[in-house]
Structures are given as C-alpha cells and as structure tokens.
C-alpha cells in the first residue's frame, strides 16, 4: 500500500459547510470572516469560527484561517483585534499574502503557523526558500506553476509544506492579482469583493460620426462585408483578424480547474495539501467534491498502480462547473482552456436537500430545490459507498403533516422520509449510512443550450487530457461548438436579463472590505460610521442596511 501523505483541503463559507466538509472526508478546512479574508460573502462571525474550529478538532480535522487580503491603511486598525482574537482560537494555520501582515502576525502571535497564500504568487523554489527563512510553515503555489516546476520545488525545498490547487474556479489574471473588477464595478478583487468582470459577455459596438452608438449586428446577409483587424504598435502592417459573432463573447472566461486526471502525480510527489477552491459555493458542491476526491485519494493509496481517474471525472460532471481544464499543469494553456460561448455553471444533477434529523424510523430533509412527484432522489453516503436511490411520489410535511405532490424550496420546507420507503435497502443500516447533514440530489432539468454546452465540455476535456491540442479544428469540437452557438442565438430571442451586474447600489452589510464606492462616496458616511462600531466579522442587520441605503439615495 502506498503511503498517503497529502491532505484534502476543502473550503467553507459558513459553519454548515464546514461541518459538511468534515462529514464528507476533508482532512482540513479553510475559512475566514468577511472583512479580512478575500471573501466578503463569507458568512462566519468570530464566534462561529470558534465553534467551527472546536468542531473540526473534535473530529480530528485541521482548520486554517484566511487573512490573505492586501491591506490598505483602513485595514490596519482591525488587524490588532483580529490577531488578538485568533490567538485564543488555536487554528492550525493562518493564510497570509501581504508581507506587512505576515510580519505583524509573526511578531504578535508567534505560536500560530503561518501559511503563504496563492495571492503572493509563489512560482519558484527561490521564493519558497525566502518565505521558509521568514518563518512560513507552508506555501500555497500559484496556479501558474507547472507540474514540472512543482517537482523541482519539492526537490529543492523538502523541509517546508507545499500546497497546490487541484479543483475550482480559475482566474484569468495572475493568481488573482486583478484590477478589472475595480475598474468595472469599483469592487476590489484583492480585498475579497470581486465582481467577476472576467465572466461577463462583451460585444463590439460602433460609434457613428454623429455621436450615436449602435450595436454592430452581424448576420448572414452582411457578414461578408466586414473584416475587423488589429494592429499592434511594434508590428506596423501586421494586421491580425478579430472575429465577431451574433452573440456576446466571453473573452476572459476560463474553464474551471480540475486536476483529477493527473491527481496520481500529485499524490506520488507527496504534495502536502491538495486544495479545492469554492468558499462561495454551495453545501452540495462541498459535499460532492469532498466525497469524490476523498474516494479517489483513498483508492490511489490502496492500489496506485491500477488507479484510473475515469469514474471520478464522470462524477465530477454532476457538480456545477464551467467545463474543466488542466490549466497550467503541463505548461502553457491549451486552446481548450477557455469557454468563449457561455459562462454559466452547469451540472447534470442539482441540490435537492439536506438531512437535518434522523429519527428512529425516518429522515427529516430540508428541501433546497423544487421536487415533483415521480422525481428520483439520490442520497450521497458520506463514507463514499454506493449512493441510495429513491423515487418519491408524495411529500409529508414535518410541521403540519400535510401531504402534497410537490415541494418548493422558497419556504424552506421540511419533509419526512420514512425508512419504509427505502424498500431495496437494509433499513437497520440507513441511519448509520446517512447521518445528519447528508446531502441529497436530483437530476437537473437542463435546457437544449445547457445540454449542448455539456457535450462541448466533455469533448474539450477529452481533447485536452489526451494531449490532442495541436489542432483546435478537431471536427467533433468544431461541430459541437457551432451547435452551441446556434442554440444560444435561438435562446437569446426569448432570454431576459434578470439582474444588474455592477454590484449593489446600497450597502450589503458584509463589511465592504473591497468596495471602493462604499469607502469613498460621501453618501455612505453613516454606513462607515456604523461599520466602525461593529465587531470583527459582524455584518450589519437588515434595519441598518436599509437606513444606509435610504441615506445614500436621498
């Protein structure tokens, strides 16, 4: 049996996700409060972090706190209180990017292990040695580090722990050092408030001589009349063509990172921590990704020579994703690392519910998506054993005992699932196989556009993994991409934009760490005053948010 050295490190955006990660096999969890951790949507107070660390430690798991923002002057006064507080929480490490913050924590909390964040862009063994000499116990490698480089770093730096991302969203800029969100939405990506401007669709418009701006409508009747050319300053006369279609183009939209096809290489190399991105993702995401990687890692440890990623990759397609890429694993990005047509995250299955209580004869399940009579529920066993299927025809509501033929998630209904319904299972083991916090899913009702996207995603993944990337004009790839484009054109005729993309006009109450509008606009002076009185990690309540929004609009 091979020695399993690597830990599975999962994200947690709130206490429920932390407990879910523990249940589904994470060795360690990383988390933070909304104001200092690069995730303003994090839903942890310091009190909840204390509870989460105690819970994880009681189950033999480790917890790393994120303190990886790039600090501005306004953040410095909060640092003293933060460090003083976490001294008593006893985390297993603190993840830091800013050198000034690193030095402050090292001097004021010398007993806490310091980890270097991916935001610090550590790409060489020389940088790893620098941080090791400074007192760091672990370095998170930048996503741009290739596996060959990682191998050399491991050889030259054997006495410090290394961590590498293996799954999750990819940022188009250098390990997250992005200013696009600041420019487009006044929301600081490097302070945890990214608006994901790289995920937006962009379209060419033209300005007429009279000042009018019109959308450039290219169709089959006029397409041959236009050719767009780009000239770079140092290459006069070298004209590069630019293509424009009927649809907006997601020119900066990367597929999601997934190194499952190469996971055995990281395990064999002995990378100390394999990290999954996604503190803003759902409980379903945390449960399913942890379950899959836990099983994959354990299976490799038992029989590394016969290990294959195929079954785990098939299961990962059930997690909402933008398509998968190996990113920089082999070096430069391939032709298939980007998705220009669509940025939506899609999965073949979706979150149906979570088991909140197990009685002597039934499960209580909180419903998370609409379920109709006849739907098949799949129960994800935390131990990685076979899932449990149940076709359900009626729903017994826990609170009032009524029976309905469908349930909707809006009112957070609790339904009762008697063990008697599971007529193909050993009822004496149901409670132990599906403890509280077990996750339930159902098949997604996907549109034609979404199915076409999934087919294209599978093809591009196969081409990239098999290193068949020299010729981007693979017939199957070209055909499926055109099918997706045409279905998007048809879908656009009836599609409506549901929400604005420039963030909130008012105060979201989550600390506004990276919101330049909040910190500099005189309209939010009262809100800043209120925030200054709040404790670390505490958000504004609804009344306070409404008050600041009213003042901002008057």
Q: What is the dihedral of CA 156, 162, 168, 169, to 10 degrees?
A: -60
pLDDT of residue 304: 96
Those residues with Cβ within 8 angstroms of residue 77's Cβ, 6 or more apart along the chain or in another chain: none
Distance of alpha carbon 417 from alpha carbon 355, whole angstroms: 10
Tell whether the torsion through CA atoms of 285, 501, 248 and 444 is positive or negative: positive
CATH fold of 7-170+254-325 reads TIM Barrel (3.20.20)
Integer angstrom CA distances of residue 79 from 49, 115, 140: 17, 17, 22
The burial class, CB within 10 Å (0-12 / 13-18 / 19+), for 484 is: buried
The DSSP-derived string for 89-126 is T--SEEEE--HHHHHHHHHH-TTS-EEE-GGG---SHH
Predicted confidence at residue 407, as pLDDT, reads: 95
Match 């054993």 to its residue by tokens. Answer: 385
Please state whether the predicted TM-score (pTM) of the whole model is above 0.75: yes
Write the DSSP string, 306-322.
G--SHHHHHHHTTS-BS
Q: In this structure, which topology does domain 349-443 adopt according to CATH? A: Elongation Factor Tu (Ef-tu); domain 3 (2.40.30)
CB 11 within 8 A of CB 283: no
Beta-sheet pairing, 62-67 with 93-96: parallel
Kindly state the tokens that stand for 104.
């402050």
Would you call 246 exposed, middle or buried from its count of C-beta atoms within 10 A (0-12, 13-18, 19+)? Answer: middle
Strand locations in 209-312, DSSP E? 213-215, 228-231, 239-242, 256-258, 273-276
Domain ranges of the chain: 7-170+254-325, 204-246, 349-443, 516-553
Q: Do the two domains 7-170+254-325 and 349-443 of this chain adopt the same fold?
A: no
The angle, 0 to 180 degrees and rounded to 10, between the axes of the packed helices 283-302 and 15-23 is 20
Contact assessment for residue 405 and residue 394, using Cβ atoms and an 8 Å cutoff: yes
Q: Would you state the pLDDT for residue 47? A: 82
Contact between residue 21 and residue 179 where contact means Cβ atoms under 8 Å apart: no
Q: What is the pLDDT of residue 374?
A: 92
Block mean pLDDT (10 aa), the chain, length 554: 76 95 98 65 77 96 92 86 87 95 96 95 96 98 95 97 95 72 69 71 68 67 69 73 61 89 97 94 96 98 96 93 92 80 88 97 96 94 94 94 93 94 92 97 91 91 80 78 85 56 49 65 77 66 56 55
- Choose among 515, 537, 519: nearest CA to 529: 519
């Amino acid at each position: 049996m091979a020695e399993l050295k690597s830990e599975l490190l999962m994200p947690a955006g709130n206490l429920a996700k932390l407990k879910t990660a523990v249940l589904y096999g994470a060795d360690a969890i990383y988390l933070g409060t909304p104001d200092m951790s690069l995730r303003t949507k994090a839903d942890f107070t310091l009190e909840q972090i204390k509870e989460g660390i105690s819970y994880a430690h009681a189950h033999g798991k480790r917890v790393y706190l994120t303190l990886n923002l790039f600090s501005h002057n306004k953040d410095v006064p909060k640092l003293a209180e933060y460090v003083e507080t976490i001294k008593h929480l006893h985390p297993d490490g603190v993840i830091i990017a800013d050198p000034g913050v690193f030095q402050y924590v090292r001097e004021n909390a010398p007993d806490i292990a310091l980890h270097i964040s991916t935001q610090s862009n550590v790409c060489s063994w020389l940088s790893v040695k620098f941080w090791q000499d400074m007192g760091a116990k672990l370095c998170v490698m930048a996503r741009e580090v290739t596996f060959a480089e990682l191998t050399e770093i491991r050889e030259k730096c054997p006495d410090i722990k290394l961590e590498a991302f293996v799954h999750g969203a990819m940022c188009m800029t250098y390990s997250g050092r992005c200013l696009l969100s600041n420019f487009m939405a006044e929301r600081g990506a490097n302070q945890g408030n990214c608006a994901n401007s790289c995920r937006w669709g962009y379209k060419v418009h033209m300005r007429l001589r009279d000042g009018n701006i019109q959308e450039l409508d290219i169709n089959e009747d006029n397409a041959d009349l236009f050719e767009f050319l780009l000239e770079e300053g140092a290459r006069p006369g070298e004209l590069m063509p630019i293509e424009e279609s009927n649809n907006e183009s997601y020119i900066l939209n990367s597929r999601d990172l997934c190194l499952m096809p190469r996971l055995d290489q990281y395990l064999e190399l002995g990378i100390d921590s394999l990290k999954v991105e996604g503190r803003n993702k759902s409980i379903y995401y945390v449960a399913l990704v942890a379950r899959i990687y836990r099983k994959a890692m354990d299976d490799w440890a038992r029989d590394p020579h016969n290990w294959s990623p195929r079954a785990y990759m098939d299961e990962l397609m059930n997690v909402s994703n933008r398509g998968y890429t190996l990113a920089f694993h082999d070096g430069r990005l391939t032709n298939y690392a980007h998705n220009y047509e669509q940025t939506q995250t899609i999965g073949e299955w979706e979150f149906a519910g979570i088991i909140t209580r197990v009685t002597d004869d039934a499960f209580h399940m909180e419903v998370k998506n609409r379920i109709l009579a006849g739907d098949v529920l799949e129960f994800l066993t935390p131990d990685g054993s076979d899932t449990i299927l149940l076709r359900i025809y009626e729903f017994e509501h826990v609170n009032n005992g009524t029976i309905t033929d469908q349930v909707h998630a809006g009112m957070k209904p609790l339904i009762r699932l008697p063990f008697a319904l599971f007529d193909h299972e050993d009822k004496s083991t149901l409670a132990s196989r599906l403890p509280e916090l077990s996750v339930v899913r159902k098949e997604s009702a996907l549109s034609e556009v979404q199915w076409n996207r999934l087919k294209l995603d599978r093809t591009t993944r196969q081409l990239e993994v098999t290193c068949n990337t020299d010729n981007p004009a693979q017939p199957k790839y070209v055909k499926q991409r055109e099918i997706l484009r045409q279905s998007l054109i048809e879908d656009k005729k009836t599609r409506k934009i549901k929400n604005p993309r420039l963030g909130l006009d008012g105060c979201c109450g989550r600390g506004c760490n990276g919101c330049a509008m909040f910190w500099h606009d005189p309209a939010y002076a009262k809100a800043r005053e209120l925030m200054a009185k709040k404790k670390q990690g505490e958000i504004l309540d609804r009344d306070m948010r409404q008050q600041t929004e009213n003042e901002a609009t008057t």
